[in-house]
Amino acid sequence: MKRNSTFWQAFRGILALLSLAGILAYALWPRLSGTEVPASARSVEATSTPSSTEAAAAPTFGDTIHTLLAEISAQEETDALILSELRSGAYTAEEPLLLDNPYGCSPLTALVVFTTEEPARVSIRVHGKTSDADITNDFPALETEHLIPIYGLYADFLNTVTLSVTTASGQKTETTVSIQTDAIDPNTVGNIILQTEIQSAAQMSPGLNFLYSQKLAFDAHGDIRWTNNTWVTPPTALFNYEDGTYITSYGAYLEGDVLLLERNFLGKFLRVWYSPYGVHHDITQGENGNLLVTGSHGASEEDLVYELDANTGEVVHSLDLKTVLPRSSERLNAALKAQNILSAIWGMSSADWFHLNAIVWDGSDVFLSGRHSSAVVKTAWPSGEIKWILASPFGWPTVFQQYLLTPAEGQTDFEWPYWQHAPVLLPDQDNNPGTTDLLLFDNGCVRFGEADVRQKLLMGNLSSIQSYSRLVQYRINEKDRTIEQIWQYGKERGEELYSDRCGDADWLSNGNRLGLFYVENYLSENASSHVVLSEVSASGTLIWEALLTAGNGVLEGYRAERLPIYHESDQDLQLGQPTQVLIPDTVLKANGVTLP
C-alpha cells in the first residue's frame, strides 16, 4: 500500500524531523565542524613529540568526556522526541513516521514509528538491488507501540522497504516506503573499493561482512549496508556483544585513558566504561557478561589482560603475562634476528615481546595468542596457571617445555603456526569431550622455529624461504598433550595470500570458514596493501571471495566477522532509558567532569 499522509500528519512529521535535525546539529557540531579533535590513540609507530603549542591545543581526556556526554544528552532528547511522536497517535501502520539516521551517526539506518489499535507483530524487508541481497527481520512480540529499526540501506540510493503488520486476530497490513540516502564520504570508510566474486551462492553462509578497521559491513555483492565510524580507535571492536549490540574503544591504544562504548546499530549509546590500561587488539565477552580486554601496563606493552565488570565498570581481575611466560628466551631472540636479517617491519621489540593479539574466554580458562612468541597459550583465569602451549618446541626455556603440545604420530603434513592471529574454539567435531578443536590464522611469518629456515637465514639464502599464510584447524588432546592438524587452506596459494602482519580466521554458522588475508608490499618505494576475504567450505572449496583495495593503493586491514545485523534485542531499542556512564567518580573529578 502506498503511503498517502494527511496534511496534519505530514505537518507534524515535518516538525518532528526539524526538531530532530536541530538536536543533532547542536550535539554533533564539534565533530562536523572539525573543531573537535579525537582523543589521541597511542601507537607503537608514533615517533614525534608535539611542540608546546601543539600540546596546548590538543584536547584533554576531560574534553573527550564532555563531548561524549553532550552527544549522549542529545540522544536522550532525541529519544524523548521520538517517544512523544509515538504516543501522539498520529502515525499508523499505513502512514508511519520515518526517521532517517535518527542519531546522526549511522547513515544507512532509519527508524519507523507508528501505533496499532490492536496488538500486532511486524516483519520488514529491505529490498536489495537483487533479490538475494534482501535483508529481512521479524519482530514477533505483539505490541501496540512500534519502533522498528531499519538496517541495511544502500548509500546514495532510493531504497525500498516493505513493512508487514499482522494483528493478533490475523488482519494484515502491508506498507511500502522509500528512503533516499546520501552518499558516504569515502574518507570515513578508508576510501575502500570492494569487489566480490560468488562461486556458489547456495553454499554461502548468511550475514554481512563486518570489518574491524573501517567499522562497516558489506554484503556478498560488495555493497556497503552499514557503517558508523564515530567514537572508534581502530582496530578494536566486538561486533557481537550480548544480543545485538557492539563495542568499540576510544582513546589510548597502549597504557592510558580509554573509553569502551556499547551501542546498538542505530548508534544509540547504551553503556560507557573506562580503563587506565588502554585497548589494543581485542575485546571479548565472558559467560558472566563481563569484558576481557587486551591492555598494557608498565615498561613493556601489549602483555596485559584485564576483566571489566560490565555492570559496574570496575576492573575486577588482571593478568600480567610477564609473570606467566618467559620474558626473554632463545626463541624470542631467533625471531628478532629473523626480523633484522629480513629488514622486516614487524614491530617486534624488547618491550613488545609477546604482542597479545587475541583472547578466547572459555568459562574458567582463556586462550591467549601471542604474535611475537608464535604461541597460543591456554591458562586458567584469572590465576594464569598454564594448561598447555601450542607452539613449535624450539627455544623454550626448560621450565616451560612440560607444557608444550606434541604432534600426534603419523602426520605427514603437520606444521606449527607462526605469528598467528584470531584463534577460535569450534563446536565439538569428533564427539570426544576430551579433545578441543581450534581454528586460527597462521601468518607463517618466517618460520624461525624450523631448523631449515634458521639455516637459510644464517646463510643469507632468503629467496628459498617459502612465504605463505593459511587458515588451519588443530585438534588438541589435553590429557595426552598431543595435537593434530585437521584442516588447512591458503598454503596452496603461496605468496598471493601471504600476510606477514595481520589476518583472521572465523567459523561460520554453516560450517564454512572465513579468512582475512592482509597482503602488504612495504619494502618498495611504492608501498601498497589490500585485503582478500575468502569463504571456504570444509572440503577446501572456495565459495566466495572479496578483494578490498583503496583509492590510494593502501588499505588498512585487520579482522572481519560474518554476522547478522538484526537480533532479538532489536525488539526493544531502549529508547527513553538513560545511557549507563560507568566512568569512576575519581576519573570524572580528575578531569573536571560532573555528571548531570
Per-residue pLDDT, 19: 64
Nearest Cα neighbor of 373 from 401, 335, 404, 424 is 335
Contact 296, 254 (CB under 8 A): yes
Question: Is 91 a residue whose pLDDT tops 80?
Answer: yes
Task: For residue 289, name the pLDDT band (cuts at 50, 70, 90).
Answer: very high
Per-domain residue ranges of the chain: 7-184, 329-491
Per-residue pLDDT, 17: 63
Task: For residue 521, name the pLDDT band (cuts at 50, 70, 90).
Answer: confident
Question: Is 232 a residue whose pLDDT tops 50?
Answer: yes
Question: Is 183 a residue whose pLDDT tops 90?
Answer: yes
Helix/strand/coil for 484: strand
Task: For residue 462, name the pLDDT band (cuts at 50, 70, 90).
Answer: confident
Would you give the DSSP letter of residue 554? B
Nearest Cα neighbor of 68 from 271, 235, 290 is 271
Rounded to a whole number of angstroms, the CA Rg of the chain reads 25
SS (H, E, C) 109-175: EEEEEEEEEEEEEEEEEECCCCHHHCEEEEEEEEEEEEEEEEECCCCCCEEEEEEEEEECCCCEEEE
Nearest Cα neighbor of 264 from 46, 400, 406, 79 is 79
Per-residue pLDDT, 571: 94
pLDDT tens by residue, 534-548? 999 999 999 999 999
Question: Is 61 a residue whose pLDDT tops 70?
Answer: yes
User: Average pLDDT in the 472-497 region?
Assistant: 97
Question: Is 116 a residue whose pLDDT tops 80?
Answer: yes
pLDDT tens by residue, 418-448? 999 999 999 999 999 999 999 999 999 888 8
19-45 exposure pattern, b = at least 16 Cβ within 10 A, e = fewer: ebeebbeebbebbeeeebeebbbbeee
For the chain, give the percent of residues with pLDDT over 90.
Answer: 79
User: Average pLDDT in the 268-297 region?
Assistant: 97
Beta strand extents in 168-303 (DSSP E only): 172-180, 192-198, 208-211, 216-218, 224-227, 237-241, 245-251, 258-264, 269-275, 283-285, 291-295
pLDDT tens by residue, 143-166? 999 999 999 999 999 999 999 999
Chain centroid, CA 229 distance in Å: 12
Question: Is 4 a residue whose pLDDT tops 50?
Answer: no
Per-residue pLDDT, 3: 40
User: Average pLDDT in the 28-57 region?
Assistant: 41
Most confident stretch, 231-245, 388-402, 512-526: 388-402
Task: For residue 292, name the pLDDT band (cuts at 50, 70, 90).
Answer: very high
User: Mean pLDDT for the chain?
Assistant: 91
pLDDT tens by residue, 492-520? 999 999 998 899 999 999 999 999 999 99
Question: Is 483 a residue whose pLDDT tops 60?
Answer: yes
Contact 87, 16 (CB under 8 A): no
Strand partners, 505: 515
- The sign of the torsion formed by the CA atoms of 35, 38, 42, 44 equals negative
C-alpha cell at 26: 547542536
Q: What's the predicted TM-score (pTM) here?
A: 0.92
Per-residue pLDDT, 15: 59
Q: Which CATH class is domain 7-184?
A: mainly beta
Strand partners, 570: none
Q: Phi/psi of residue 463, each to 5°?
A: -65, -20
